[in-house]
Amino acid sequence: MLNGTTADQSVERTNLRINAVKTCQPIGAMYAALGIHGCMPHSHGSQGCCSYHRSHLTRHFKEPVIATTSSFTEGASVFGGLANLTQALKNIFSIYNPEIVAVHTTCLSEVIGDDIPTIVKRAREEGAIPEGKLVIHTNTPSFVGSHVTGFANMVTSTLKYLAAEPTGETKDQLNIVPGFVEPADMRETKRIADLMGVKTVMLPDTSGVLDGPLDGTYKMYPKGGTQVADIRTMADSMATIALGHFASNPAADWLEAKQQVPAAHLELPIGVGATDAYVEALRAYAPEGKVPEALETERGRLVDLISDMQQYFHNKRVAVAGDPDHVIAMVKFLIELGAKPVYVITGSPGNHYERRVHELLDPIVPDAKIKQSADYYELHQWMKQAPVDLLIGNTYGKYLARVENTPFVRFGFPILDRVGHRFFPSVGYNGGIRLVELMLNALLDHKDRTCAEEWFELVQ
């Protein structure tokens, strides 16, 4: 518990993070690799690193997450991981037979300085990689960036390996880089594009991989995930829509700079305005150039709910913590609801985050505290100095919510103590309805638990 946290901030911490609102790069890279069909994520480092990353993803998704490791010991730590990775690739293809192996590095292999492309080339020459099988890699040292950076690096590296040879013939399709979001969010993002009549290639796509059905047969490589053949066509698409500055823009920027595929940079489509922007971007490529009635109806339901329930959100003080793309989108949505985000933090680095949140909040909440590379300890200190009405963040925020008796909504990654998030989207108009339900019910439940008896109403 965090009962020992005090409001005293007389000593400034510059090089220490306590309960940082992030985790390390390899987790993001592993998640992105799972969104490629027939892919085996491979951790080039020690067994402990791979075990932690797999267990963290497994606990969030409540699904078994596959991955392999180079199993570094003292010898590899001194002499390098060439032999370990070569043997690992031979074992992986002979035992698990994936279509593609996605290698990501760890702190240990980065400090050693292993040259992954050279090792893979030698492994192929020695016959450790069968004909027709693929191996890609990305660099993800844990001592810089965050899981969001690792996700972005893996997606970009996948394109560099697989979409490096365009045919020169533009295909009638859009690329979508969905960001570090749930399988349900990726499914909803595709569904909206389908309603608009727009053909898309999404990379990565974990829908159907980490939210699949139980049919009595274990499938190491489920039906979901982006097909390698489709990834190869992304350099010939009409354009790319990147959803989220931190997780998605690097891949879109590479396609634009190297393959001349125009990029549209949007924020995660959470809430009315951000979803409108996504729909409008799709409309430019829709066959009929208009929004279907079904989407108009979904939008109307969300607007109606906001209109009906706005009085419960009006001027509510809210603290938001999480991944930068999620936090930016949530801040926009809270503004639409009439709430006041007063404390807004992320654990990931990147100056764009503070600039963008200041753009959103300075006209409305000029005294809001906004910080990147932040941690839950400092957020807790702020909450002790001036309490909030609602806390929004990942599972680690539950300790603050319990100590301060604050309504709490779990949002983002990781969510380790609740279920359903991988099945129910937060993006799109339907996702907005779900978020309003979660936030409003948390506020009303708290009121019922804490109000005086004379205010304990049957109807709210």
Report yes or no: 65 and 82 within 8 Å, Cβ to Cβ: no
Give the active site residues: 107, 111
Exposed e or buried b for every residue in 415-448, given b needs 16+ CB within 10 A? beeeeebbebbbbbbbbbbbbbebbbebbeebee
- Cβ-based neighbours of 288, under 8 Å, separated by 6 or more: 197
User: What domains can you pick out in the chain, each with its CATH number?
Assistant: 25-162 (3.40.50.1980), 174-211+219-292 (3.40.50.1980), 294-455 (3.40.50.1980)
174 has which bridge partners? 200, 239
Report yes or no: 237 and 167 within 8 Å, Cβ to Cβ: no
pLDDT band at 127 (very low <50, low <70, confident <90, very high): very high
Checking if the pLDDT of 359 tops 70, the result is yes
- The string of DSSP codes covering 86-149 is HHHHHHHHHHT--SEEEEEE-HHHHHHT--HHHHHHHHHHTTSS-TT-EEEEE---TTSS-HHH
Q: pLDDT digit string (tens) for 232-243?
A: 999 999 999 999
Q: Is 433 left (phi over 0), alpha (psi -120 to 50) or beta?
A: alpha
Checking if the pLDDT of 1 tops 60, the result is no
- CA angle 223–224–228, rounded 5-degree value: 95
Q: pLDDT digit string (tens) for 21-36?
A: 999 999 999 999 999 9
Checking if the pLDDT of 118 tops 70, the result is yes
Residue corresponding to tokens 């506020």: 443
How many C-alpha atoms does 411 have within 13 Å on its Cβ side? 33
pLDDT at residue number 2 = 61
Q: Which token pair is 345?
A: 């933090």
Nearest to 134 by CA among 83, 98, 85: 98
Checking if the pLDDT of 78 tops 80, the result is no
End-to-end CA distance of the chain: 33
Nearest to 103 by CA among 15, 166, 44, 157: 44
Report yes or no: 349 and 374 within 8 Å, Cβ to Cβ: no
Amino acid at 235: A
- Cβ-based neighbours of 140, under 8 Å, separated by 6 or more: 24, 25, 26, 28, 29, 104, 105, 106, 149, 150, 153, 154
pLDDT at residue number 415 = 97
Q: Which token pair is 403?
A: 């100590």
The C-alpha atoms of residue 180 and residue 148 are separated, in whole angstroms, by 7
| Percent above pLDDT 70 for the chain | 100
Report yes or no: 410 and 401 within 8 Å, Cβ to Cβ: no
Report yes or no: 22 and 345 within 8 Å, Cβ to Cβ: no
State the DSSP H helix or E strand holding residue 186, giving kind and residue range, or none if neither.
helix 183-195
Report yes or no: 21 and 321 within 8 Å, Cβ to Cβ: yes
Helices (H) then strands (E): counts for the chain: 17, 13
Q: pLDDT digit string (tens) for 449-460?
A: 999 998 998 988
The C-alpha atoms of residue 7 and residue 313 are separated, in whole angstroms, by 27
pTM above 0.85, yes or no: yes
Q: pLDDT digit string (tens) for 148-183?
A: 999 999 999 999 999 999 998 999 999 999 999 999
Q: Is 341 left (phi over 0), alpha (psi -120 to 50) or beta?
A: beta
Nearest to 205 by CA among 191, 187, 228: 187
